[in-house]
């Protein structure tokens, strides 16, 4: 990675949230789409994401903020589908990280 290249690998806490989301989805059979599962795998493995993927993450969180008001959001024993999906995308820390990275990358090309 060059000195002026931004590291678009998520922080460990975001990777842990995604892994937890995958585990909850496996246990309870709900939450997220195949795209969300793919995103969770990338986050869990801390792969270098593209600026376009970061933008899609920001969009996901903006659309799904309302899910946090649902019954059982945050309930580890009976999680809502929205909670599982939120974690698949990195959880609250994933949201904050994606927003910060979008600000840093601006309109960078998707490479």
Q: pLDDT value at position 3?
A: 37
Predicted confidence at residue 47, as pLDDT, reads 97
- The position carrying tokens 């939120």 is 86
Dmax over Cα atoms in the chain, in whole Å?
A: 46
- How far apart CA 111 and CA 44 sit, in angstroms, is 20
Block residue for tokens 């678009």 = 8
Q: What is the pLDDT along the chain (111 residues), one digit of tens a residue?
A: 443 578 999 999 999 999 999 999 999 999 999 999 999 999 999 999 999 999 999 999 999 999 999 999 999 999 999 999 999 999 999 999 999 999 999 866 665
pLDDT value at position 5? 75
Residue 111 has a pLDDT of 54
Structure confidence at residue 4 (pLDDT): 56
Map 20-86 to HEC letters. HHHHHHHHHCCCCCHHHHHHHHHHHCCCCCCHHHHHHHHHHHHHHHHHHHCCCCCCCCCCCHHHHHH
**pTM to 2 decimals?**
0.91
Look up residue 79 and give its two tokens: 């999680």
């Amino acid at each position: 990675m060059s000195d002026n290249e931004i590291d678009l690998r998520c922080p460990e806490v975001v990777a842990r949230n995604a892994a937890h989301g995958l585990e909850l989805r496996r246990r309870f059979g709900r939450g997220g789409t195949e795209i969300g599962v793919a995103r969770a795998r990338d986050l869990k493995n801390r792969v270098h994401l593209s600026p376009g993927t970061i933008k899609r993450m920001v969009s996901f969180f903006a659309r799904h903020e309302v899910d946090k008001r649902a019954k059982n959001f945050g309930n580890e024993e009976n999680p809502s589908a929205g909670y599982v999906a939120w974690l698949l995308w990195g959880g609250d820390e994933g949201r904050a990280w994606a927003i910060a990275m979008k600000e840093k990358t601006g309109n960078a090309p998707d490479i």
